[in-house]
Structure 1
């Protein structure tokens, strides 16, 4: 049954919005194993608001950390120790799992998200910007994942169209361009679902 990890080339690039769109399109369960930063709400709250999936499909985080920092540091400030062994994949399918920031963000002082993804053995979707700098960041992300034996399902772009950047990443990265989520004037469930349907082929995620 369908299950994907959604990761990004950096923080704040639209990864959570894409995860919401994908979860909604698949009517999937959504899980963010580690949430860092709660002042502006959790990413699960954003997915619940934008995806249209049932509240029961939003799975609880294993760790909820108060500071908007890398999980390893946020946990230390909260007086916690993250145990990667507790980050077991839920059995629900379809399933969309969201990481935090980029693939080499530390979960602990010894373990990165890419290491955790390798233990899960799920295909990973890389969410990338379309603008300046994205070629370097995206190709580095793909290399880091493949170095750990992680399957890269493809790249989902977020932002204004940039055909050359998108094509260059797909060619040099040896991966597929899944589509591009454009900037939306109103970020709400209906426009997001329509944009995903218009710019992505659901068969690529079957």
Structure 2
């Protein structure tokens, strides 16, 4: 069984929809270690609404923070300090999809970042969305992960931007699992379509 860590080049790039698609494609378990803000409509609930299969188990957050901010700041408002020892991977015999928060250098406390949640045996899938500056953010993310020795693949999110995508692929030579287009909406059927489309590329990564 494999563990897939889903991260992005920043916030609001499509990590949660991508996590739902990957979870559905593999009928994997899903876990969001740290949820900051939006607790009534958290990412776990969003993925649960988008997944059709009955195999997936949704594991509890290690930390649920009240404020939609960087985890270190949200934890400070709640009067706590995030402790990596309390973030324990769920026990499962299934594939596991782990969704990060923001990008890989988002701080958890004064010493640790999201990167410290990624174990050496995890496969990392980076979600990249085009905006001014996204090439830089994508290259920084991919290159740091590769330098740390992780197996890395890429999913593009949003409308195609050929010159951006071509240079990222050429400069990093990472596997591209596919593209999640700018859909009018995402529901279980749309997620299922993408899951079918991406499944072989995810499994071969």
Query: 2-side partners of 1:203 and 1:127: how far apart?
Result: 18
With over 3 angstroms needed to count, the CA separation of the structure-2 counterparts of 1:58 and 1:39, relative to structure 1, is closer
| SS of alignment partner, residue 13 of structure 1 | coil
Of residues 188, 201, 205, the one that matches 1:204 is: 201
Q: CA deviation at 1:136?
A: 1.0
Provide the C-alpha distance between the structure 2 equivalents of 1:167 and 1:62, rounded to a whole number of angstroms: 38
TM-score, length of structure 2 as denominator length = 0.91
Aligned residue pairs, count? 202
| 1:60-139 matched pairs, under 5 angstroms | 60-92=60-92, 93-117=94-118, 119=119, 121-139=121-139
Mapping 1:19-58, distance limit 5 Å: 19-39=19-39, 41-54=41-54, 57-58=57-58
Q: Any idea what the Cα deviations from partners look like across 1:114-172, whole Å, max 9, x if unmatched?
A: 1221x45311100010344321110011122233x241421101001123322221221
Runs ≥4 in structure 1, deviation > 4 angstroms?
none
Is contact 1:182–1:195 with CA below 8 Å preserved after alignment? no
Change (3 A) 1:35 1:150: farther
For structure 2, the 5+ residue unaligned runs are none
CA deviation after TM superposition for structure 1 residue 8, in Å: 0.3
CA distance in structure 1 between the aligned counterparts of 2:165 and 2:56, rounded to whole angstroms: 36
CA drift of 1:108 comes to 1.2
Paired with 1:39 and 1:91, the residues of 2 have a C-alpha distance of 24
**Partners of 2:108 and 2:54 in 1: CA distance:** 29
Q: CA RMSD in A?
A: 1.8
Instruction: Give the corresponding residue for 2:142.
Output: 142
Higher relative contact order (CA 8 A, sep 6+): 2
